[in-house]
């Protein structure tokens, strides 16, 4: 992994199941990892090796999903032996409803003017 997430940032992520009562659009995305057109958005962390969040691989919005993401696997992904997963150091913590890619994959309407999801109707 090119730049691992800092320990203090890891420790600020809620533990697994701590936010299960929160609706998906309102879940807080605490970290973002990426490689090419692959994105992993992190909501929860078990304190060891497992994240829970949203993954979209190769830009495939139809098969993007919420689930467990092993940190150890993110660290070992390499493309052509050169490119590795990066932690987005400039990520600003925000709700899932304010992440365009998640909104697109979930079929939520993203309000570009307000940079967040809006309800239709």
Q: Is residue 109 part of a domain?
A: no
Q: How many CB atoms lie within 10 A of CB 106?
A: 19
Per-residue pLDDT, averaged over 68-72, amounts to 97
Angle value at C-alpha 67, between 61 and 69, nearest 5 degrees: 100
What share of the chain in percent tops pLDDT 90?
82
pLDDT in tens, 13-47: 999 999 999 999 999 999 999 999 999 999 999 99
Flag whether pLDDT at 112 surpasses 80: no
44: containing domain:
7-21+28-95
Flag whether pLDDT at 83 surpasses 70: yes
Q: Is residue 117 part of a domain?
A: no
Q: Is residue 114 part of a domain?
A: no
Question: Confidence band (pLDDT; 50, 70, 90) for 115?
Answer: low
Structure-token pair, residue 101: 């890619």
Q: Is residue 69 part of a domain?
A: yes
Q: How many CB atoms lie within 10 A of CB 41?
A: 25
Helices and strands in the chain: count of H runs, count of E runs: 3, 11
Q: Is residue 2 part of a domain?
A: no
Q: Mean pLDDT in the chain?
A: 91
Q: Is residue 37 part of a domain?
A: yes
How many domains are contained in the chain?
A: 1
Q: Is residue 57 part of a domain?
A: yes
Name residues whose C-beta falls within 8 Å of residue 3's C-beta, 6 or more positions apart in sequence. 86, 87, 89
Distances (CA, A) of 79 to 53, 61, 71, 74, 102: 23, 21, 17, 12, 24
CA distance 38 to 84: 11
Q: Is residue 111 part of a domain?
A: no
Question: Confidence band (pLDDT; 50, 70, 90) for 121?
Answer: very low
């Amino acid at each position: 992994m090119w730049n691992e997430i800092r320990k203090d940032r890891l420790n600020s992520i809620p533990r697994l199941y701590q936010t299960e009562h929160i609706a998906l659009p309102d879940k807080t995305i605490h970290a973002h990892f990426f490689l090419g057109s692959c994105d992993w958005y992190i909501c929860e962390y078990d304190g060891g090796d497992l994240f829970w969040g949203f993954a979209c691989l190769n830009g495939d919005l139809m098969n993007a999903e919420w689930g467990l993401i092993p940190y150890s696997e993110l660290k070992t992904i390499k493309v052509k032996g050169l490119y590795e997963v990066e932690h987005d150091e400039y990520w600003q913590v925000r709700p899932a409803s304010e992440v365009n890619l998640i909104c697109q994959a979930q079929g939520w309407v993203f309000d570009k003017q307000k940079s967040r999801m809006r309800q239709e109707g």
